[in-house]
Amino acid sequence: MSPDRDVAAELNAEGRFPAGFLWGAATSAYQIEGSPLADGAGVSNWHHFTHQSGNTKDGATGDVACDHYRRYRDDVALMSDLGLQAYRFSVAWSRVLPDGRGSVNQAGVDFYSRLVDELLEHGIQPNVTLFHWDLPAALDDQGGWLHRDIVGWFADYASVMFRALGDRVPLWTTLNEPWVVVDAGYVHGVHAPGRRNAAEAPVASHHLLLAHGAAVDAYRSLGRGKIGLVVNLEPKDAASGSADDAAATNRADAYMNRFYLDPVLLGHYPEEMAALFGEDWPEFPAEDLAAIRRTIDFVGINYYTRAVVRRDDSEVPDRAAPVRQDGARYTEMDWEVHPESLTRVLRWVAERYGSPPIYVTENGAAFPDPPSAPDGTVNDPLRVDYLRTHLEAVRTAIRQGVDVRGYFAWSLLDNFEWAAGYSKRFGLVHVDFETQQRTPKASALVYRDLIRTHGAGLR
């Protein structure tokens, strides 16, 4: 046994995480940057969406958000103070290609290049997501994810970023949560582009997956690091022992949990999809499925909750509705706190998909944080508990043999929470949106200590 391995065994005996486990935090461009049109950037579909009335809580927009575009140096210093080893952020496509394709806006590229340099100077590993929901509006006008040409548009944009940052960024993600893009953006209309047509879901999903595959191909010829896909997963449990609820649970599981991973990792869509979408589910050509099934280097999992479901025929398209659990704790998003299901979902991915390397790319909770105490501290005991119990759940999965390589808390900062605007605070760091002052909450300090001790101090 190599000396390194002895060290790892010793650390594990004290409850620590394996050596090399990456401790990070995550954000996304539209949620924190502000200055959406600065320095030649084009309009994004989220800019467009938030500027139409009725789409977000209190009419909130990302016009200022956390003003990170202008304060990124301070924010990187903050990350460094917290001891973060890695930082997951996304690139706003419309800063780099104002029209989505064609001419590159160098000032947009330069922003991300400076951010990457700043991170590296502080010893923080950058983890770049190419698409975290903000699409250039010019592309949306041409159909967005419904237009098959988006596959090439996305690969071209990805190539611009691989060329610009590939020498310094070791970890890349193509898409963040394609399920949410489709379900919230095309089926229920609560996210940009605000469409409400379940028949569009198969088309938009298929193009997202083809775009993912095309970007992976581009990376293989341009990049030297690792690239993967980030999905949000939510174990589904039946509300009763009835056959109806069991069937609904299976539909909900296929729709949310297998819709994207099955084609990427197994080469086919879940068999339930045809029944879910009926005549709207086309026969996809075998060449397409081959283009989607590209080797990826890791699976990124965003985990927040599980769902207990029952049959509800009014729900589109899976005819399944969540059932609230008496006595359970819920976050402000109305998501049940259920750390055991994080262990479950990590094991499920390992078992179903042949043990791919996994990163937990998002995990966190919104709670109504109390105002800061006179001494300036923000006590968020519920978030501290959420963080600790979910990290314990990750460690349990690792002990059971799941190859989890890192954890990214959602989120570094309180930020623009999409349709919920600024009403939901997920940050480890409190942001006063009037003054832009950042105050690390108790959870940030707990996280800092856990990073420092490699997880010793968890139960």
- Contact residues toward ligand FCB (CB under 6 A) are 28, 31, 176-177, 180, 232, 302, 362, 410, 417-418, 426
Residue position matching structure tokens 């009763």? 240
Half-sphere exposure of 421 (CA within 13 A, CB side): 15
Which amino acid, one-letter code, is at 215? A
The rounded distance, in Å, linking the Cα atoms of 387 and 412 is: 13
Nearest by Cα to 407 from 349, 354, 455: 455
* Smallest distance, ligand FCB to C-beta of residue 366, A: 7
C-beta of 105 vs 411, nearer to ligand FCB: 411
**Orientation angle between helical segments 68-81 and 106-121, nearest 10 degrees:** 10
The rounded distance, in Å, linking the Cα atoms of 58 and 423 is: 9
> Exposed (0-12), middle (13-18) or buried (19+): which is 121, by Cβ within 10 Å?
exposed
| Residue 362 bears catalytic tag | yes
The rounded distance, in Å, linking the Cα atoms of 77 and 371 is: 24
DSSP string of 412-449?
SB----GGGTTS----SEEEETTTTEEEEBHHHHHHHH
Contact 417, 366 (CB under 8 A): yes
**With the C-alpha atoms ordered 206, 212, 218, 220, is the resulting torsion angle positive or negative?**
negative
Helix (H, G, I), strand (E, B) or coil at 149: coil
C-beta of 159 vs 302, nearer to ligand FCB: 302
Catalytic residue among 33, 177, 336, 392: 177
Non-local (6+) Cβ contacts of 5 within 8 A are: none
| Pairing, β 226-232 against β 437-440 | unpaired
**With the C-alpha atoms ordered 438, 94, 364, 63, is the resulting torsion angle positive or negative?**
positive
The rounded distance, in Å, linking the Cα atoms of 383 and 314 is: 34
Contact 395, 12 (CB under 8 A): no
The rounded distance, in Å, linking the Cα atoms of 220 and 215 is: 9
**Orientation angle between helical segments 201-222 and 150-165, nearest 10 degrees:** 30
| Residue 14 bears catalytic tag | no
Catalytic residue among 33, 118, 336, 362: 362
Tell me which residues are annotated as active site. Answer: 177, 362
